[in-house]
A and B are shown apart, each in its own frame.
Chain A
Amino acid sequence: MPTQEQQNSRSQTSQKEEMILKAEDVTVYYDDFAALRGVYMDIPRNQVTALIGPSGCGKSTLLRCFNRLNDLIDGCRVEGKVIYRDKNLYSDNIDAVEVRRRIGMVFQKPNPFPKSIYENIAYGARINGYKDNMDDLVEKSLRQAAIWDEVKDKLKQNGLSLSGGQQQRLCIARAVALKPDVVLMDEPCSSLDPVSTSKVEDLIHELKEEYTIVIVTHNMQQASRVADMTAFFNAEEGESGNRFGYLVEYDRTEDIFENPQEESTKSYVGGHFG
Chain B
Amino acid sequence: MSSTTYNQQDNLSNLEASNSRPRTIIGTLLTVLAFTLLGVALLPLGLVIAYVIIKGANRLNLSLFTELPPAAFQEGGGVANAIVGTLILVGIAAIISIPIGVLAAVYLSEFAPKRVARWIRFATNVLSGVPSIIVGIFAYGVIVLRTDSFSAFAGGFALAILMLPIIVRTTDEALQIVPQEVRWASVGVGASNFHTVLKIVLPAALPAIVTGTSLAIARAAGETAPLIFTALFTQFWPNGLFEPIPSLSVLIYNYATVPYDNQRELAWAASLLLVLLILLASVISRWATRKSVY
Contacts and interface: CB of A to CB of B under 8 A. Distances in A.
Interface in A82-131: 97-98, 100-101, 104-105, 107, 109, 111-115, 123-124, 127-128
Interface in B190-232: 190-192, 195, 199-200, 203-204
A50 interface: no
Contacts, number: 73
Contact of A114 (B114, B189, B190, B203): B203
A74 interface: yes
B190 A97 contact: yes
Contact of B192 (A97, A104, A114, A124): A97
A175 B186 CA distance: 10
B182 A113 contact: yes
Contacts of A72: 183-184, 187
B288 to A, nearest CB: 15
Nearest to A112: B185
B279 interface: no
B84 to A, nearest CB: 39
A196 B175 CA distance: 31
Interface residues of B, number: 21
A72 B181 CA distance: 11
Contacts of A178: 189-190
A47 to B, nearest CB: 21
Given A69-B184, A107-B184, A171-B185, A101 B190 contact: yes
B188 A100 contact: yes
A121 to B, nearest CB: 10
Contact of A69 (B188, B191, B200): B188
A127 B294 contact: no
Interface in B151-191: 179, 181-191
A198 to B, nearest CB: 24
A171 B203 CA distance: 19
Nearest to A100: B190
B293 interface: yes
Residue from B183, B184, B190, B200 whose CB has the most chain A CB atoms within 10 Å: B190
A217 to B, nearest CB: 18
B200 A113 contact: yes
A174 B192 contact: no
Given A123-B199, A127-B199, A160-B293, A97 B181 contact: no
Given A109-B181, A127-B199, A104 B293 contact: no
B191 A124 contact: yes
Interface size class of A (residues with CB under 8 A): 20 to 34
B197 to A, nearest CB: 12
A160 B187 CA distance: 19
Nearest to B188: A105
A67 interface: yes
Instruction: List 3 tightest A-B contacts by C-beta distance, closest first.
Output: A124-B189, A101-B190, A111-B181
Interface in B58-105: none
Contacts of A97: 187, 190-192
Interface in B87-142: 114
A104 B188 contact: yes
Interface in A145-163: 158, 160
Given A101-B189, A107-B188, A114 B293 contact: yes
B192 A67 contact: no
A67 B114 CA distance: 25
Given A97-B191, A97-B192, A114 B294 contact: yes
Residue from A67, A101, A127, A128 whose CB has the most chain B CB atoms within 10 Å: A127
B53 to A, nearest CB: 41
Contact of A74 (B114, B187, B195, B199): B114
Contacts of A127: 189-192, 195, 199
Contacts of B185: 105, 107, 111-113, 171, 174
A111 B199 contact: no
Contacts of A109: 181
A111 B182 contact: yes
26 contacts: A67-B188, A97-B191, A100-B187, A100-B188, A100-B189, A105-B185, A107-B184, A107-B188, A109-B181, A111-B185, A113-B182, A114-B200, A114-B294, A115-B203, A124-B189, A124-B191, A127-B189, A127-B190, A127-B191, A127-B192, A127-B195, A128-B189, A128-B190, A160-B293, A175-B189, A178-B190
